[in-house]
């Protein structure tokens, strides 16, 4: 297996992460599908990959737990060598107005969505950056339009996703000399199980703010990820790509 075709996708058990994993597999990448809480959904993703003629495997760890991440990712590096790509996608929401937001919900979102940037990438960056005679690689982080503009009821989520943008830009500068690109994608409203649970009246209000008058599809995020993973995107780094229908 060509090491330049191995990609880790965190949060690959459903929604955007699943689409990213499946579409990457269709492009010929060996996809390492991360999950933490729902093995059955992760297995569904792997089955879709195999049905599409792709290859991959599952890996389980808690992105908010630094020790767990390092142990599992060190094992991954020992098994597969240096990865070509890392898609840091795993995340959660715990929405509420700031005055009603509990400290627990603040911490959970920050630990899962923002601390995972360090917890996942740090153990993998050194091997990638020290690759001899064949430097290069791709890091893609999934932020959100909430991290760009802020969103009512999402101070914790907006803070985490804005932090990801800042960290992405800083890391891009540090790794540019190693031919490793680091970019962020900021999705708007994407049709997943999460959006299906929104009250219809609220959903209509949200749609009225989107010039294209529709939600995006997970595959539309996956297409952008595949481009950024490709050799053709080698001169694109430190960018935040908003995929939001003009929102």
As a whole number of angstroms, the distance between CA 162 and CA 45 comes to 28
Q: Would you say 181 and 228 are in contact if contact means Cβ atoms under 8 Å apart?
A: yes
Q: How many CA atoms lie within 13 A of 209 on its CB side?
A: 10
Q: Would you say 5 and 32 are in contact if contact means Cβ atoms under 8 Å apart?
A: no
Provide the 8-state DSSP code for 102: -
29 catalytic, yes or no?
no
As a whole number of angstroms, the distance between CA 42 and CA 59 comes to 9
Active-site choice (30, 157, 203, 235): 157
Q: Would you say 14 and 38 are in contact if contact means Cβ atoms under 8 Å apart?
A: yes
As a whole number of angstroms, the distance between CA 178 and CA 213 comes to 41
Provide the 8-state DSSP code for 230: S
Neighbouring CB atoms inside 10 A of 99's CB total 6
Active site amino acids: 157
């Amino acid at each position: 297996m060509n090491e330049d075709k191995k990609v880790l996708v965190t949060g690959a058990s459903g929604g955007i992460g699943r689409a990213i994993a499946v579409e990457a597999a269709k492009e010929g990448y060996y996809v390492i599908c991360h999950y933490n809480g729902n093995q059955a959904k992760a297995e569904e993703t792997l089955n879709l990959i195999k049905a599409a003629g792709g290859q991959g495997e599952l890996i389980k760890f808690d992105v908010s737990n630094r020790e767990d991440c390092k142990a599992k990712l060190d094992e991954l590096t020992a098994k597969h060598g240096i990865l070509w790509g890392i898609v840091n996608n795993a995340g959660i929401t715990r929405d509420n107005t700031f005055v009603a937001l509990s400290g627990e919900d603040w911490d959970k979102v920050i630990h899962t969505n923002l601390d995972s940037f360090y917890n996942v990438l740090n153990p993998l960056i050194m091997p990638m950056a020290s690759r001899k005679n064949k430097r290069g690689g791709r890091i893609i982080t999934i932020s959100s339009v909430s991290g760009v503009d802020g969103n009512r009821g999402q101070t914790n989520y907006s803070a985490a996703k804005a932090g990801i943008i800042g960290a992405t830009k800083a890391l891009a500068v540090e790794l540019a000399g190693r031919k490793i690109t680091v970019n962020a994608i900021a999705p708007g409203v994407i049709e997943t199980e999460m959006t299906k649970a929104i009250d219809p009246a609220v959903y209509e209000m949200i749609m009225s703010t989107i010039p294209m008058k529709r939600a995006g599809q997970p595959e539309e995020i996956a297409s952008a990820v595949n481009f950024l993973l490709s050799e053709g995107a080698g001169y694109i780094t430190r960018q935040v790509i908003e995929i939001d229908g003009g929102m």
